[in-house]
Amino acid sequence: STAAWLAAGQHISRREAGRQVRLAADLHTRYERVRAALATGRLSLEQAQVIVTALDRLPGCVSVEQRCDAEGWLVEQAQVFGPDELRVLGRRVFEVIDPDGAEAEEGRLLEAEERAARARARLWMQRVGDGSTRGGFSLPDAQADMLKIALDALVSPRRPLPGDETPALVDPDLDQSRLPYDQRLGRAFGELIEHLPVDRLPQSGRSTPRMVIEIDYQRLISGLGAATLSSGTRISAGEARRLACNSGLLPMVLGGDSVVLDLGREQRLFDHHQRIALGRTQHGCIADGCDRPPAWCEAHHCAPWSTGGRTDLDNAVLLCGWHHHLIHDTGWTARLAPDGIPELIPPSNVDPTQPPIRHRRFRRRTQA
């Protein structure tokens, strides 16, 4: 084929060769001004493709004269703007040739694009086999923007309180500011998924869709070994203990003969009113320097629920997802001091003296 011949001769991809062949066919019979500008070097190949795409998108009601005006205007703009800026101008070219009808036409065009985007909506996931899953998706722009806003909010750097330059309490492995942006977005996506309100999802039969964690009682107590999700995925016992704090998961604790010892969450989870009270007293994640608000925090048992810790306010602290990992994975502990202020205590390998660390919002209160 012509595309294959061009790809081999110019050392370009088959996809790019196909685009160039289609462009050549368009310019052979139409768009004389684009063809002339491309031939004389006034347009790059990519600019020409952008202009042709914009002109092809014009509605059938556009006259030949208006189409020529649009073509000439875009060729002129290409002398100033690159392909990206030209693409934006191309979407608004109808305003140049018919200012009065531009808004109505844009509305019709956007409706058609939205219908097509919904029809093309896709999501795929594939297990890699190394504890991770790869995937991709196609979404309408509006939903993609909503997702982007939520993820950007989660990857924003932790903000210190005004006038306080004390370093934030951040484990190097969990400090997002040191990671590439795409990796920070990936971690934020995981955090977003963990906070999905599963109780508001459509029910399957009469039950709410909920992931079950199956774990042996001794492994739950020790934090060593492995647990199994209802999907069949194996996770570490430490991760199971952390996820057990999440209302989106249901722990199934087994005895020595795989007998179910406990299946439920009422006595395990802090209820809505308790979470409101924690939000009013702790104001968000208690790790120093972290700015996660109460709505994005998980209520953590200072004395673990798995070892008999009570689901009471005097045994609870708020932790964001990142610092919840810190507590469960690296030996940090949380407690409420005698004055009721929550504190984090580092493991001895971080600081042999193990001084209790309070969020600066509480230090300001005690200093007042």
Per-residue pLDDT at 158: 47
Structure tokens at 7: 């790809």
* Sign of the torsion formed by the C-alpha atoms of 228, 233, 238 and 243: negative
Per-residue pLDDT at 309: 78
Structure tokens at 257: 């003969």
Structure tokens at 320: 């964001």
Per-residue pLDDT at 24: 83
Report the Cα 288 to chain-centroid distance in Å.
Answer: 24
Per-residue pLDDT at 102: 66
Q: Phi and psi dihedrals of 165, rounded to 5?
A: -100, 15
Rounded Cα–Cα distance for residues 50 and 48 (Å): 5
Asked whether 316 and 301 are in contact (CB, 8 A), the reply is yes
pLDDT in tens, the chain (368 residues): 787 887 888 778 888 888 888 888 878 888 888 889 988 999 888 899 999 988 888 877 778 888 888 889 999 999 989 999 998 888 888 878 777 776 777 778 778 888 999 999 999 999 898 888 999 999 998 899 889 888 887 776 544 333 333 344 444 444 556 778 888 889 889 888 877 766 666 554 444 456 677 777 676 666 667 888 877 788 887 777 777 666 556 666 655 554 444 444 445 678 777 888 888 889 889 998 888 888 778 888 888 876 777 888 888 899 988 888 888 778 889 999 998 899 999 988 888 899 999 998 887 655 54
* Sign of the torsion formed by the C-alpha atoms of 10, 16, 18 and 22: negative
Rounded Cα–Cα distance for residues 351 and 337 (Å): 19
Per-residue pLDDT at 249: 61
When computed from its CA atoms, the radius of gyration of the chain, rounded to whole angstroms, is 29
Report the Cα 358 to chain-centroid distance in Å.
Answer: 29
Secondary structure of residue 234 in the 3-state scheme: strand
Unique residue bearing structure tokens 């580092």: 346
Q: How far is CA 355 from CA 36, 49, 65, 177, 253, in A?
A: 75, 64, 79, 25, 35
Residue 270's closest CA among 237, 307, 297? 297
Asked whether 226 and 237 are in contact (CB, 8 A), the reply is yes
Catalogue the long-range contacts made by 325-333 (C-beta closer than 8 Å, 24 or more residues apart).
325/174, 325/242, 326/171, 326/174, 326/287, 327/242, 327/300, 328/223, 328/238, 328/239, 328/241, 328/242, 329/238, 329/242, 330/171, 333/302
Unique residue bearing structure tokens 């042709």: 52
CB neighbours (10 Å) of residue 299? Answer: 24
- Per residue, the 3-state secondary structure of 96-137, as one string, reads HHCCCCHHHHHHHHHHHHHHHHHHCCEEEEEECCCCCEEEEE
